[in-house]
Amino acid sequence: MNRRYFLQMIGSLIVAAQPSRPAFARTDDDPEDIYARLKSSAELHFSMCGGTLSIALDGDSGPLDQHRVEAWVRRSAAAVSTYFGRFPVEQWGLLVTRTEGSHIGPATTWGYPGSITRLSVGRDVSDEALRDDWVMVHEMIHLALPRVPLSSEWFMEGNATYVEPIARAQLGQIPPQEVWRWAVDAMPKGQPQQGDEGLDHTHTWARTYWGGAMYWLLAEIAIYKHSNGKYSLQDALRAINRASGGNTAYWSVAQTARVGDTAVKSDVLASLYDQLKDRAVSVDLDGMLRQLGISEEASVIRFDDRAPLAELRRSITSLRNPNGSSTKACMDENLGKKPIHRDKP
């Protein structure tokens, strides 16, 4: 199943079942029940990159045993922790519901009563599909930022959509071309259509995910330009994560933007929010990609290192401060250089 349909089905608080449905329908899952289930009987506990992860598994395991689930979670957590410099919350609970078939998703993440995610997966899923999966990474990125009012759902969905392939590329799990493949193929869907009233008032799938992702790409470029390459969006997002503690916090977009902007000594996030929230603003996406040195020729993504923002493009998918203590400790842990702490067998 393609990414578009997947993205429609996953959300932090929302799940939509059919492309033709009204934008969002709330999931029937009760986070209180899932939280209680995880508290009372999670089968698997481990610490990773500063977070304690608890995992419960429902449904017949078939070939999808605990070890394969753990390897999948660790791979996803390594990418997200590398991007944010640590696992984004201190405690996270995951309920994996094993179903028929081989499909990954839908998934939902909540910040109340704790940071928890429910994810369905077919028990016949292949190792290759688990290795290439982005759904788990997307959900983990939702842990990193505070929850915001539902009218600004695009702010967090756009963030998870934008950051997910970048986090995986930084750790070498996917090539940089795959990151920009999505910007070339899917991001144009985020442009405003007729009748659009700005991101805070146009709750379509395309504007929520790809319109939101465009906001974060615009922010990435503006922070780089404003600071002459000294700061990146990643610095702003790490600061927001540290100050909020992640998705158990509930903040306004303005507060979130302010904390990120302070970290990179600009007003980029706040001013972009002011520009895009109440108005239909078309973005010169082709121009942005050209400046980054990204083009598509014969279905292949090509890079031009002479483009004005080529250095930014390279830095986005490169490890940030690879020798920094938090990144290094987390990578060492995942490369097996350090014994894995287990609270339970």
Name the one residue in this structure whose structure tokens are 């009218």.
151
Cβ proximity to Zn ion: between 208 and 334 the closer is 208
Asked if 246 contacts 88 with a C-beta cutoff of 8 angstroms, the reply is yes
Question: Residue 126 Cβ, how far from Zn ion at the closest point, in Å?
Answer: 24
Regarding 160 and contact with Zn ion (CB under 5 A), the answer is yes
Q: Which stretch binds Zn ion (CB under 5 A): 4-12, 38-46, 231-239, 276-284?
A: 4-12
Q: Which stretch binds Zn ion (CB under 5 A): 8-16, 69-77, 175-183, 254-262?
A: 8-16
Regarding 122 and contact with Zn ion (CB under 5 A), the answer is no
Question: Residue 120 Cβ, how far from Zn ion at the closest point, in Å?
Answer: 14
Regarding 105 and contact with Zn ion (CB under 5 A), the answer is no
Question: Residue 144 Cβ, how far from Zn ion at the closest point, in Å?
Answer: 12
Helix (H/G/I), strand (E/B), else coil: 51: strand
Question: Residue 167 Cβ, how far from Zn ion at the closest point, in Å?
Answer: 14
Cβ proximity to Zn ion: between 10 and 285 the closer is 10
- Calculate the CA dihedral of residues 110, 104, 153, 48 and round it to 10 degrees: 50
Asked if 244 contacts 256 with a C-beta cutoff of 8 angstroms, the reply is yes
Regarding 11 and contact with Zn ion (CB under 5 A), the answer is yes
Cβ proximity to Zn ion: between 247 and 266 the closer is 247
Instruction: List phi, psi (to 5°) of 281.
Output: -115, 115
Cβ proximity to Zn ion: between 26 and 230 the closer is 26
Task: Give dist(CA 103, CA 99) in Å, integer.
Answer: 9
Task: Give dist(CA 226, CA 157) in Å, integer.
Answer: 25
Question: Residue 305 Cβ, how far from Zn ion at the closest point, in Å?
Answer: 33
Pick from 342, 168, 221, 202: nearest CA to 280 = 202
Question: Residue 138 Cβ, how far from Zn ion at the closest point, in Å?
Answer: 5
Helix (H/G/I), strand (E/B), else coil: 62: coil
Regarding 16 and contact with Zn ion (CB under 5 A), the answer is no
Rounded alpha-carbon distances, angstroms, from residue 209 to 17, 126, 161, 262: 15, 27, 6, 26
Number of residues that bind Zn ion (CB under 5 A): 4
Q: Which stretch binds Zn ion (CB under 5 A): 10-18, 48-56, 271-279, 327-335?
A: 10-18
Question: Residue 143 Cβ, how far from Zn ion at the closest point, in Å?
Answer: 11
Cβ proximity to Zn ion: between 14 and 264 the closer is 14
Regarding 211 and contact with Zn ion (CB under 5 A), the answer is no
Regarding 51 and contact with Zn ion (CB under 5 A), the answer is no
Q: Which long-range contacts (CB under 8 A, 24 or more apart) does 318-326 make?
A: 318/170, 319/82, 319/170, 319/171, 320/83, 320/85, 320/170, 320/232, 320/234, 324/85, 326/49, 326/50, 326/85, 326/86
Question: Residue 343 Cβ, how far from Zn ion at the closest point, in Å?
Answer: 28
Phi-psi region of 43 (alpha: psi -120 to 50; beta: other; left: phi over 0): alpha
Which residues bind to Zn ion, rule: CB under 5 A?
Answer: 10-11, 157, 160
